[in-house]
Structure 1
Amino acid sequence: MAIPQSAINSIQQGVEPQYLVRDVLAWFGKTRRGVNVVAAIHGALSAANLETDPSFETAYLDEPVKIKRTGGPIEDDIVRGGTVDDPVIRVTSVAAAHRKIIAVSKSETVERAITLMLENNFSQLPVMSHVEARTIDGMFSWRSLGVERAGGRQPNRVQDAMEHAEIVNHADDLVQVVQRILLHDVVVVQAPDRTFQGILTIHDIAEQFQALAEPFLLVGEIEKHVRRLIDGRFTHQQLMSVRAGDDGRTITTVADLTFGEYVRLVQSEENWSRLGLAIDRTEFVRILDRVREIRNDVMHFDPDGLDNEVRKELQSAKRLLTCISPEPAPRPL
């Protein structure tokens, strides 16, 4: 697919159309932003003298982005290599930064605030005059309520048990914002129009970490199983033979091999026979090569996490390798 003609027509008429990030991905038949996908879309937009604002690369999947002209005539159906224009992971890439805000006003009762927190399983609530407000009065939380009650006071209104509200910008560096979340437990995310678009808590960051860490952990476990499978079964010369022709690396153990070299090592029937496995070599090589492809993509940050089908592929590969991988030798006492 390519940039739709309707978008090009709008821009030519002086209108900057808006599309969800997932719609932009769908133009190119994609659902997630792997490194190759991002480069290809950047290239297509650049070739057509177009860009998105904010960048489709870091915006949340369901966040609208404008399609804008960068200068020069608009061209369609041109795809060439592009570069990643924003290396920073932004706050706006986290789903929770776009979660509907549930707030209370200063004059509401403590009982209502407690009811809302229990109902929604929240630990805190922003204190605002209304949810479209551009100012925030503070935060009401279990902690702020506990501080008041520990001091012998019995607050009746939300304003009697508020604490400071930490505000971050939607375009802030997520890595730096995490430090502020650890310090304050929660931050409120401010949108470009200065309204507040969501909140981020320690729980949200933990969920995001799980989504991002899972592929690294799965690929790491698979790689350990592969190393255990081939360790001690090949000579130094055989290990050296799977390097690329112009690669001057010295390989002394299986740990020095790349994943692609693992694949090349077991592709030949002679090497395969050394493993002593009663499974299909062609299918095993296909599985390993697919893991190699996924691994290359995983090594680049993808704000959308792991696609469910890709997750299943990694879990299946891990399950197979767990079944055929030899048990480690016992350690001496």
Structure 2
Amino acid sequence: MTDATVGEDADGSSGRASYLIEGRRVRVSDLINAGLLPAGTRLTFRRRRSGEAHLAHVTEDGKIELSDGQQFSSPSAAAAEATGRGPLDGWTAWTLDDGTLLDAVRQTLLDTVAAQSSSDSTAADGSAARHAWLRDARKKADAGTPITLSVRDLLSWWGASRRGYQISWQIFDELANHGLTDVPNFSAVGLDDRITLIGPSVDTEDEEKETGQVATTESEAPPELVELTGAPRPTASDEDGDEEQPVQGQTIGNLPSALRGVEWVAPSASFEEAFTKMRLNGYSQLPVLNGPRNLQGAVTWESIALARYTDDKAPLSRAFVKAHAVSYTDHLIDVLPFLEQFGFVLVKDQTNQIAGIVTVADVAAEYGATARPFLLIGDLDRQLRRVISERLDLAEVIPLCDPDGLRKLASFDQLSYGDYQQVLSNQKQWDCLGWPLDRKAFAARLDELREVRNELMHFNDKDKAGDAAIPKLRNMIELLRAYGV
């Protein structure tokens, strides 16, 4: 196999290397196209203890065909169907006749692609360095010493500071290409929360029968580490239905307090202990736990007052009230009814332990922070429309925004943000404003705010893209108010 084979698209153009490393998951068909896995190759999935063997072969179109004729584009789906069990990591389940794992062939492809990227002087995106880092992460995961890092640090390897839709997919797919899983799911927790990169799951058919426990990973991560990974739900775009995807939308785990720890008391605690912990931490409620995973209820200032009012010698148990626990991966919108009912919820982490508490005040602050940039964007739109409608001639503006007349513009109210940019970037219209400002710098800032506006309006970023832009939005609005009179 030559570098050209890997580095060329179907039309002979270069760029496939970058696409494979950053665009999506590696498929069996990619291995065939690169000359690493000939069509017709026999694959074997041998169960570790029973020795039971399942046979398959690779088809010309990149499918894995089982002995009964069923075909799958996903190795994991093929392994699950062959055994009647799952989930299984098919990349580390299927082997070639010489014992080579299908995953090893995938890594050879990635290594070749990364080498090309490294030798390409135009590749300045750090993909080769990231590949080396991911390889090292996989090596450590397989050795039982997985890497742990913050979500913020993980994003930095992709040159990102926020989890937009595109970058989340890229990270998720590149981790998968290296057989890595993030625990907890990086898209379902806060930016400063820490995650662990674990390796592929192990087929433990026989251990499962004997002990009743589900297998973990090749690095033998403890069961509690993978009991609840947060994951990744099936994606409808995959024909085999076993591929995973990053958690989309705002989760309860994205809130700062969700996984930051929680003070609690045991069922046998005294009023004095509960009172002291609540006062020291400024809490209005305190969970009652019989161990880190066993939620018994909670005590609140109100429940304590009622219990003591009824009987000043009553034990703390008389002040227990119901409490509700949710998973850190639960969508925030789905948790709102429980917050309305209880005033707070306890949050379970990936090991099912109670790891934090979220109150109505936390959610109000979150929604307030989310709404702020939307309000400023609305104000910016109004200010831009006001300036253009009051200072410029509609007859001159319409040809700039609708040169072909297809939109049939008839008023300033029909203009969009893109129209504002078009008008204010025009030298003649800019001169009509008579502002002592630089048109190019002004237009560049408008375009920057357009990107922020698009991210917000399409909800593409769960880390509130508008946060960093709030000062810029405010400055632009103030400038328009000052000069637009």
The aligned residue for residue 189 of structure 2 is: 59
The aligned residue for residue 329 of structure 1 is: none
Structure showing greater relative contact order (alpha-carbon pairs closer than 8 Å, 6 or more residues apart): 1
CA 1:29 to 1:162, structure 2 compared with 1: closer, same or farther past 3 Å?
same
Q: Give SS of 1:137's match.
A: strand
Quick one: which of 147, 151, 161 aligns to 1:31? 161
TM-score by length of structure 2 reads 0.57
Contact 1:148 1:155 in 2 (8 A): no
CA distance in structure 1 between the partners assigned to 2:286 and 2:416 by the alignment: 49
CA distance in structure 2 between the partners assigned to 1:256 and 1:288 by the alignment: 19
CA distance in structure 1 between the partners assigned to 2:483 and 2:463 by the alignment: 32
Contact 2:267 2:317 in 1 (8 A): yes
Q: In the TM superposition, what is the alpha-carbon distance from 1:88 to its structure 2 partner?
A: 3.5
The aligned residue for residue 144 of structure 1 is: 303
Point out the more displaced range, 115-124 or 279-288.
279-288
The aligned residue for residue 317 of structure 2 is: 159
The aligned residue for residue 104 of structure 1 is: 265
AA matched with 2:132: Q
CA distance in structure 2 between the partners assigned to 1:155 and 1:251 by the alignment: 77
The aligned residue for residue 73 of structure 1 is: none
- 1:219 paired with 2:346, answer no
CA distance in structure 2 between the partners assigned to 1:49 and 1:155 by the alignment: 59
Q: CA RMSD in A?
A: 3.0
Point out the more displaced range, 8-17 or 264-273.
8-17
CA distance in structure 1 between the partners assigned to 2:353 and 2:341 by the alignment: 23
The aligned residue for residue 305 of structure 1 is: 464
CA distance in structure 2 between the partners assigned to 1:45 and 1:10 by the alignment: 10
Q: In the TM superposition, what is the alpha-carbon distance from 1:41 to its structure 2 partner?
A: 3.5
CA 1:308 to 1:235, structure 2 compared with 1: closer, same or farther past 3 Å?
closer
CA 1:91 to 1:324, structure 2 compared with 1: closer, same or farther past 3 Å?
same
CA 1:36 to 1:310, structure 2 compared with 1: closer, same or farther past 3 Å?
farther
Q: In the TM superposition, what is the alpha-carbon distance from 1:188 to its structure 2 partner?
A: 0.6
Q: Give SS of 1:107's match.
A: coil
- 1:230 paired with 2:388, answer yes
Where do 5+ consecutive residues of structure 2 fail to align? 1-125, 202-243
The aligned residue for residue 134 of structure 2 is: 7
Quick one: which of 314, 327, 333 aligns to 2:473? 314
CA distance in structure 1 between the partners assigned to 2:414 and 2:183 by the alignment: 43
CA 1:114 to 1:245, structure 2 compared with 1: closer, same or farther past 3 Å?
farther
CA distance in structure 2 between the partners assigned to 1:179 and 1:167 by the alignment: 13
Q: Give SS of 1:199's match.
A: strand
AA matched with 1:254: F
Q: Give SS of 2:188's match.
A: coil
CA distance in structure 2 between the partners assigned to 1:244 and 1:38 by the alignment: 36
Identity of aligned residues (%): 27
Contact 1:104 1:113 in 2 (8 A): yes
Once the two structures are superposed, residues 252-277 of structure 1 have per-residue CA deviations (whole angstroms, 9 ceiling, x without a partner) of 33332222221111111211133343
Contact 2:188 2:250 in 1 (8 A): yes
Between Structure 1 and Structure 2, how many residues are aligned? 311
CA distance in structure 2 between the partners assigned to 1:256 and 1:51 by the alignment: 48
Quick one: which of 115, 118, 122 aligns to 2:283? 122
CA 1:99 to 1:42, structure 2 compared with 1: closer, same or farther past 3 Å?
closer
Q: In the TM superposition, what is the alpha-carbon distance from 1:203 to its structure 2 partner?
A: 1.0
Contact 2:249 2:331 in 1 (8 A): yes
CA distance in structure 2 between the partners assigned to 1:278 and 1:184 by the alignment: 57
Contact 2:185 2:195 in 1 (8 A): no
Q: Give SS of 2:265's match.
A: coil
Q: Give SS of 1:172's match.
A: coil
Q: Give SS of 1:38's match.
A: helix
The aligned residue for residue 76 of structure 1 is: none
CA 1:167 to 1:267, structure 2 compared with 1: closer, same or farther past 3 Å?
same
Point out the more displaced range, 25-34 or 279-288.
279-288
The aligned residue for residue 264 of structure 1 is: 422
AA matched with 1:22: R
Q: In the TM superposition, what is the alpha-carbon distance from 1:117 to its structure 2 partner?
A: 1.5
Contact 1:127 1:139 in 2 (8 A): yes
CA distance in structure 2 between the partners assigned to 1:247 and 1:35 by the alignment: 35
Once the two structures are superposed, residues 61-104 of structure 1 have per-residue CA deviations (whole angstroms, 9 ceiling, x without a partner) of 2230435569xxxxxxxxxxxx9743332221211111211011
Q: In the TM superposition, what is the alpha-carbon distance from 1:45 to its structure 2 partner?
A: 4.6
CA distance in structure 2 between the partners assigned to 1:45 and 1:175 by the alignment: 28
Q: In the TM superposition, what is the alpha-carbon distance from 1:223 to its structure 2 partner?
A: 1.7
Q: Give SS of 1:87's match.
A: coil
CA distance in structure 2 between the partners assigned to 1:237 and 1:58 by the alignment: 51
The aligned residue for residue 135 of structure 1 is: 294
- 1:156-305 to 2 correspondence within 5 Å? 156-243=314-401, 248-299=406-457, 300-305=459-464
CA distance in structure 2 between the partners assigned to 1:289 and 1:6 by the alignment: 35
